[in-house]
A and B are shown apart, each in its own frame.
Chain A
Amino acid sequence: METLLEVKNLSVSYFTRRGEIKAVDGISFNIRRGEIFGIAGESGCGKSTIAMSILRLIRPPGRIVDGEIIFDGTNVLQMSQEELRNFRWKKVSMVFQGAMNSLNPVHRIGSQIAEAILIHDDVSRREALKRAEELLTLVGIERSRLKDYPHQLSGGMRQRAVIAMALALNPKLLIADEPTTALDVVVQRQVLDLLMDMQRRFDLSLIFISHDISTMAGLSDRIAIMYAGRLMELADTKELFSSPLHAYTRGLIKSLTGFVHKGRRLWSIPGSPPDLDADIPGCSFEPRCQERSDRCSSNTPGLMEVEPHHYVACNRVT
């Protein structure tokens, strides 16, 4: 399949008083046209930072220190402000983490969707509002809600409105950063179904970011597992679940609960992720790894293709 987005050796750091925090440390991956690409990992592992980097939304004290982000042949990191503004939302749009907070509370839903259209397309305000209305209908919100303010909508409806806004310009890539975390379980399901439906209908590429790999398993074509700013494993979903190669991936899969018998303790990976403000000499997962060997604390494993389309960064495997 054809490549739509290429992320090469991306490094993003936050420069704080405590020093440089390497939130994303030399990550590379490709997104193909029309695929659903999952990025999974614990909170703070750099998933959202990657998402923000693709649209160049990293704000000080954060900075993209190295790498390339190539979308359809153009390096996003070298775009001028003008090119960047045309690129944002038109080519790549985003559904943000906080369903509750990504709409401006003092502007009407309709005008926020219309705003996105008016920035990029040369249409009248009336035309833009009409399109906003159609988009709302598309995601299952009544037309009459066009003039509502965000606080008048339920959480699920708000996230639907955000999805409608993300689809406003027919982007090629949609990044959904934990699109359902703030919602209750039933609504989560509906929002995910809607996202998948839209993905199929518009032949979107979708980057789906979540800490919940069980949800991701049912949706994504491929999954990337991140840990402490680095990519640990990347494979087709089926492959990843049937033969995980990295100890961290195995730990994540093992910690999935499913139906647990009463009285049985839930399993979790011992320890916690490292502080990112210090240099990690070897594998970042080494301190928590059950299968570590001596060289793990000194040698940083690179991401290697060990089987066709199955990449892993682990000293034991490579």
Chain B
Amino acid sequence: MISARYIIRRTANSFVTYAAALALIFAIPRLIPGSPEELMASSYRLPGEVAAELRHRFGLDQPLTTQFVKYISNVILKFPPDFGISYSYYPAPVWQVVTTYLPWTIFLLTLSSVVTAALGLLLGVLSAWKRGSIVETLVSGVSMFLLSTPYFWIAMILIMVFGVYLPIFPVAGAYTSTVIYDTPFRLDYICDVLAHAALPVMSLVISSFASYTIIMRDNMVSTLGEDYITTAMAKGVKTRSIIWRHAARNAMLPVVTLFILRLGTILGGAIVTEAVFSYPGVGSLLFNAILNQDYPVVQGFFYVITVMVIIANYFADLLYVFMDPRVKY
């Protein structure tokens, strides 16, 4: 059961995290060496007066404290939060830029997280049940290998294999930009989008399912040794039901926590993956924004991501109570 006291404490906790994140989001882009107007001035060979005018227009000539106060009040008090105007997508407001790219990332992440968790759990359960067999050795070996392989390396291998040697999947973009559809709810459009998502999703899945497999396998092995599993067998419960209803159901509990904790990591991976596949998500956006020192966009990106992760963690904690009856808050 959840007590009201716990909910209040947990909510307060989330707000503290939110506040800390707000401050960091302001600080981090400003810690990148150089400054946006210097970058623009040098790359476009602008005269000094123009650079000064840009500084003034973006408010970068004001003291940091003034900038900070302005930033905080614009973000907290306005909806949608106002991060100002993008430097590189001038004159589009940041919120508009981020929300244009965001749906693609959400699509990519949802698809890859679900596939990752499902595949990871399945292989973990399988290798625990087939303990001591060649299946387990194979699954464990491959998992350990993949666990220590970086995202982008797998992405490059996939491009080589499925984009070059066996050109099955498109290697860049989120859809075929040369064809224009009247409505997005068409089968050929959906297939096109899925085909474009195939390689990015595969590289995210391949590089991250192993952590689920390994944790699930370990939990499964110890759960299968519990007395209540023997009881279930003695009752005549079918093997499939023993594996899923009695063992996996219990072994899965810590994996739920892992799923949520990994959201942040997967996002990090998504940035690199999107960059490799020129996928039009917020990852590519951030990548370019950092290169261009586009402070407002960097802030907008981190803000949206942070809020998403905080909310996910918040609900995961509350959800846990319903999954494990022993947990009491």
B238 touches A96 (CB 8 A): no
Determine the distance from Cα of A202 to Cα of B231 in the docked complex, in whole angstroms: 22
Q: Does A119 reach chain B (CB closer than 8 Å)?
A: yes
Contact check: which of B132, B234, B249 meets A89 at CB < 8 Å? B234
**Shortest Cβ distance from residue B240 to the other chain A in the assembled complex, whole angstroms:** 12
A96 touches B132 (CB 8 A): no
Q: Which of B227, B237, B245 contacts A102 (CB 8 A)?
A: B227
Interface string of A272-288 (1 = CB under 8 A from B): 00000000000000000
Taking a contact as CB atoms under 8 Å apart, the answer to whether A96 and B227 are in contact is yes
Q: A26 → chain B, closest Cβ, in Å?
A: 25
8 Å CB interface, A25-66 against B: 52, 55, 57, 60
Instruction: Verify if B326 is at the interface (C-beta below 8 Å from A).
Output: yes
- Contact partner of A97 (CB less than 8 A), chosen from B227, B246, B250, B325, is B227
B232 cross-chain contacts in A, Cβ below 8 A: 104
Asked if A151 is at the interface (CB within 8 A of a chain B CB), the reply is: yes
Complex interface: chain B residues within 8 A of A162 (CB) = 231
Beta-carbon contacts under 8 Å, A75-120 to B? 84-90, 93-94, 96-98, 101-107, 115-116, 119-120
Given A103-B231, A151-B326: A60 touches B132 (CB 8 Å cut-off): yes
Minimum CB–CB distance for B313 against chain A, Å: 23
| A interface, size bucket | 20 to 34
Once bound together, how far apart are the Cα atoms of A57 and B230, in whole Å?
A: 7
| Chain A 114-147 interface residues, beta-carbon cutoff 8 Å to B | 115-116, 119-120
Chain A residues in 8 Å Cβ range of B236: 84-90, 116, 119-120
Verify if B23 is at the interface (C-beta below 8 Å from A): no
Q: Complex formed: what's the CA distance from A227 to B326 in Å?
A: 40
Tell me the smallest distance from the CB of B220 to a CB of chain A, in Å: 14
8 Å CB contact of A101 from B226, B234, B324, B325: B226
The reply on B228 being an interface residue by CB < 8 A is yes
In the complex the two chains form, is B235's CB within 8 Å of A89's CB? yes
B234 lies within 8 A of A55 (CB): yes
Complex CA gap A101/B223 in Å reads 11
In the bound complex, residues from chain A placing their C-beta under 8 Å from that of B245 are: 107
Residue of A nearest to B253 (CB): A106
Beta-carbon contact of B325 and A151 below 8 Å: yes
Other-chain residue from B231, B235, B237, B325 in contact with A106 (beta carbon distance below 8 A): B325
Check if B132 sits within 8 Å of A106, measured CB to CB. Answer: no
A52 / chain B contacts, CB cutoff of 8 Å: 230
Closest chain-B Cβ to A124's Cβ sits at a distance in Å of 18
- Are A104 and B246 closer than 8 Å at their CB atoms? yes
A115-B246 Cα distance, complex, nearest whole Å: 11
A57 B234 Cβ-Cβ under 8 A: yes
B188-241 residues with Cβ-Cβ distance < 8 A to A are 226-228, 230-238
Q: How far is the CA of A90 from the CA of B236 in the complex (A)?
A: 9
What residues of B have a CB within 8 angstroms of the CB of A96 in the complex? Answer: 227, 230-231, 234
Q: Which residue of B lies closest to A175 (CB)?
A: B234
A34 to chain B, nearest CB (A): 22
Q: What distance in Å separates the Cβ of A93 from its nearest Cβ neighbour in chain B?
A: 7
Please give the distance in Å from A162's CB to the nearest CB on chain B: 8
Across the two chains, which residue of chain A brings its CB closest to B246? A104
CB neighbours (8 Å) of B325 from chain A are: 105-106, 149, 151
Q: When each residue 227-267 of chain B gets 1 if its CB lies under 8 Å from chain A and 0 otherwise, what string results?
A: 11011111111100000011001100000000000000000
The CA-CA distance from A165 to B235 in the complex, in Å, is 9
Whether A119 touches B235, Cβ cut-off 8 Å, given contacts A105-B326, A106-B250, A149-B326, is: yes
By beta carbon, the residue of chain B nearest A149 is B325
Given known contacts A60-B132, A149-B326, A151-B326, A104 and B238 CB-to-CB distance under 8 angstroms: no
B 249-301 contacts with A by CB, 8 A:
249-250
Are B227 and A98 in contact, CB atoms less than 8 angstroms apart? yes
Chain A residues near B323 (CB-CB < 8 A)? 106
| A residues less than 8 Å from B238 (CB atoms) | 85, 119
A102 to B324, CA, bound (A): 17
Whether A104 touches B235, Cβ cut-off 8 Å, given contacts A96-B227, A98-B227, A149-B325, is no
User: Are A101 and B132 touching (Cβ within 8 A)?
Assistant: no
Task: Please give, as numbers and ranges, the residues of chain B lying within 8 Å of A94 by CB-CB distance.
Answer: 231, 234
Residues of B within 8 A of A84 (CB): 236
Docked pose: A93 CA to B69 CA in angstroms:
72
Instruction: Give complex CA distance A275, B209 in Å.
Output: 44
Considering the chains assembled together, what is the distance between the CA atoms of A86 and B325 in angstroms?
A: 31
Cα distance, A21 to B93, chains bound together (Å):
75
- Which residues of B lie under 8 Å from residue A165 when comparing CB positions? 235
Q: Of A86, A93, A103, A106, which is within 8 A of B249 by CB? A: A106
Q: Please report the C-alpha to C-alpha distance between residue A119 and residue B238 in the assembled complex, in whole angstroms.
A: 9
| Docked-complex contact A119 and B132, CB < 8 angstroms | no
Whole-angstrom distance from the CB of A178 to the nearest CB of chain B? 12
Residues of B contacting A104 in the complex (Cβ-Cβ under 8 angstroms): 228, 231-232, 246, 250
A25–B249 alpha-carbon span in the complex (Å): 38
* B interface with A by C-beta (< 8 Å): 132, 226-228, 230-238, 245-246, 249-250, 323-326
Q: List 10 A-B contacts (CB under 8 A).
A: A84-B236, A89-B236, A94-B231, A101-B227, A102-B230, A102-B231, A103-B231, A104-B250, A116-B235, A119-B235
Residues of A within 8 A of B (CB): 52, 55, 57, 60, 84-90, 93-94, 96-98, 101-107, 115-116, 119-120, 149, 151, 162, 165
| 6 closest cross-chain pairs (CB), A and B | A101-B227, A88-B236, A149-B325, A104-B228, A85-B236, A98-B227
| A57-B230, A104-B232, A106-B249 known, 8 other contacts, Cβ within 8 Å | A89-B235, A89-B236, A94-B234, A106-B326, A107-B246, A120-B236, A151-B326, A162-B231
